[in-house]
Amino acid sequence: MTDSRILTVPNRFKEPYDFEYVIDLQEQILSGADQLDLSRITFIEPYSMLSLLLIGRTYLRKKGTKLKLTGIPMNIHQYLHRMDFFKTGVFDMSDRLDEKMLLKRSSFSNRVLEITEIPNKERESVRVIGKIIGVFRKRAGHILKYWLSDRVVDYYVTVISEICQNIYEHSLDSGYLAMQTYSVGKENFVRLAIGDSGIGILKSFGNNSVPYDSPAQLIELAITTPISSKREFGYGLCQVKAIVEKLKGTIYLRSGNASVSTMYQRRTPGSSFLFLKNDLSNFDGTQILISLAG
């Protein structure tokens, strides 16, 4: 193996917008690299973690071999281990951290939902969704510590259920979910990330007569109107948007080469609150991040 096949990943794992720099490297990773050097990463949030996992899975599917992760800083390694990132079996992890250095599942356990695979088959998926909701309800007091009320917990149960169902109903692939609360300075965040590398929103609407001008506009329609690729009309994403709006949170939804973000916490009367982007680097499937900050 030569050094030229090691690709050093930039420290762009802090926000979905930031992670675009890593997505831009995907072609390079899939065509030339066999190792990813993560030594520059100082922080990784749930959406970026899941998207890295999807890159690894695509690599494994296309090449038949696992992409090796090297140079992982200890704190990142501990976090990824704690989130069951390595349990997915997607990456080659010959550089294991000493057992003694790994984070114990104690108080920290309550602030996360570990990475869970959402199957693409209805029956299994329904079982997994039930399990995720069960764990979420047990840990909600910690995950939603800064926003806690029965109402907010119930809102999140709806959001988790609606988005997870979209995976087996529309993506034709399995996906992953992860959730975490954390603080940066005085600000607290709770992030729910769900992603798959399936057919994406554009292809899902392939035979549908919904008119749209651009891929991002189709995503916008999917979250603002009850359109559905499978039925006469659908409710899921619309309901997610309505709930996030009530909570004054943000949605980042990316599919294929387009994204839409909503920023209800910054919405001022009369201003636009939806931000559409087209012509991004292609990234298969659909990835969604729901965030609250406060």
Interaction between residue 154 and another protein (CB under 8 A): yes
Residues touching another protein: how many (CB under 8 A)? 26
Interaction between residue 239 and another protein (CB under 8 A): yes
Interaction between residue 281 and another protein (CB under 8 A): no
Region near another protein per CB under 8 A, out of 21-29, 122-130, 253-261, 276-284: 122-130
Sign of the torsion formed by the C-alpha atoms of 166, 171, 174 and 179: negative
Contact 287, 260 (CB under 8 A): no
Q: Count CB neighbours of 210 within 10 A.
A: 12
Tell me the C-alpha distance between 27 and 123, whole Å. 34
Tell me the C-alpha distance between 223 and 102, whole Å. 40
Interaction between residue 223 and another protein (CB under 8 A): no
Region near another protein per CB under 8 A, out of 14-22, 159-167, 195-203, 283-291: 159-167
Judged by CB under 8 A, the chain residues 162 through 191 that form the site for another protein are 162, 165
Query: Closer CB to another protein, residue 159 or residue 258?
Result: 159
Q: At what angle do helices 215-224 and 236-246 cross, to 10 degrees?
A: 70
**End-to-end Cα separation, the chain, in angstroms:** 47
Provide DSSP, 193-246. EEEE-SSHHHHHTTT-----SSHHHHHHHHHHS---SSSS---HHHHHHHHHHH
Interaction between residue 126 and another protein (CB under 8 A): yes
Query: Closer CB to another protein, residue 188 or residue 225?
Result: 225
Which residue, among 227, 244, 212, has the nearest Cα to 166 in the 3D structure?
Answer: 227
Query: Closer CB to another protein, residue 236 or residue 256?
Result: 236
Of positions 100, 104, 233, 271, contacts another protein by CB under 8 A: 233
- Rounded least distance, CB 143 to another protein, Å: 16
Helix (H, G, I), strand (E, B) or coil at 81: helix
Helix (H, G, I), strand (E, B) or coil at 154: helix
Region near another protein per CB under 8 A, out of 18-26, 127-135, 139-147, 269-277: 127-135
Of positions 32, 89, 130, 141, contacts another protein by CB under 8 A: 130
- Rounded least distance, CB 234 to another protein, Å: 8
Interaction between residue 211 and another protein (CB under 8 A): no
Interaction between residue 71 and another protein (CB under 8 A): no
Q: Count CB neighbours of 94 within 10 A.
A: 9
Query: Closer CB to another protein, residue 32 or residue 134?
Result: 134
Interaction between residue 141 and another protein (CB under 8 A): no
Residues 6+ apart with CB under 8 A from 110: 139, 141, 142, 143
Contact 196, 288 (CB under 8 A): no
Of positions 97, 172, 242, 280, contacts another protein by CB under 8 A: 242
Interaction between residue 138 and another protein (CB under 8 A): no
Residue type, 79: Y
Interaction between residue 224 and another protein (CB under 8 A): no
Contact residues for another protein, defined by CB under 8 A: 122-123, 125-126, 129-130, 133-134, 137, 150-151, 154-155, 157-158, 161-162, 165, 226, 232-233, 235-236, 238-239, 242
